[in-house]
Structures are given as C-alpha cells and as structure tokens.
Amino acid sequence: MRPHDPLDDAESTDSGGFFFDPGASTGERQALALEDLLARLTKLIQSFEGCERVAVTQLTRLDAPDSAGCNWSAAVVLAPAGVAPEIYTLAYASVVFMARSSWNLK
C-alpha cells in the first residue's frame, strides 16, 4: 500500500496559499505602500468577530529585512476603539503573522 500523499488529494480544499497572499505560489513578497499595508491589516483584523472597529494605525519599518525577509516589525500600533485586548489579541496575532510572510513595505 502506498503512503497517502497530502499534495495529491482530490478532495482537498486547500488552494496552496492564504486568501490574501497572491505571492504565495511564487514565494515572492508583495511590496505595498504604508497606507495600503495599514488598510489591508485593518480590514483583515476587522474580519474577526468583535474586532469590527479595531484599526492598525502605525507600524515600524526595519532597518534591514529580518531573517524571513520581512522589512516591517510585528509590533504594530492598534486603535482598539474600546475593544478589550482579550478580543483583539488573537486577530492581531493571526493577521500580523500571516501578513509578515506575504507583504513588505515599498
């Protein structure tokens, strides 16, 4: 019996990349203007339940890309709009982790 190959699964719904990561298949990062990156991060965080009013207002450009190739810090500034940290923390962590693997600052 041949071992199951997860990459050869006719019933798989995995597209091979994240829904907001057009560069996932090529391994390239998409370079975005600061305003565009802030807007995309905000929109993704707001897609989480309870985070509809949370916004990303600032982020820091790194002097040089990190070992993964990202040129902006994971420590972003949020405007929580009264949303409790225990509500937005998971959204923040999920979105920033995924976005740092896909997007860089221009």
Residues 24-50 have pLDDT tens digits of 445 689 999 999 999 999 999 999 999
Beta-carbon neighbour count of residue 7 at 10 Å? 7
pTM over 0.85: no
**Residue 23 in contact with residue 30, Cβ under 8 Å?**
yes
The pLDDT, as a whole number, for residue 28 is 86
Is residue 36, in this structure, part of any structural domain at all? yes
Domain that holds residue 61: 30-105
Mean pLDDT over each residue of the chain, to the nearest integer: 85
**Residue 58 in contact with residue 76, Cβ under 8 Å?**
yes
The amino acid present at 16, given as its one-letter code, is G
Is residue 59, in this structure, part of any structural domain at all? yes
Residue among 57, 51, 35 at smallest CA distance from 84:
51
Number of domains in the chain: 1
Is residue 12, in this structure, part of any structural domain at all? no
Is residue 15, in this structure, part of any structural domain at all? no
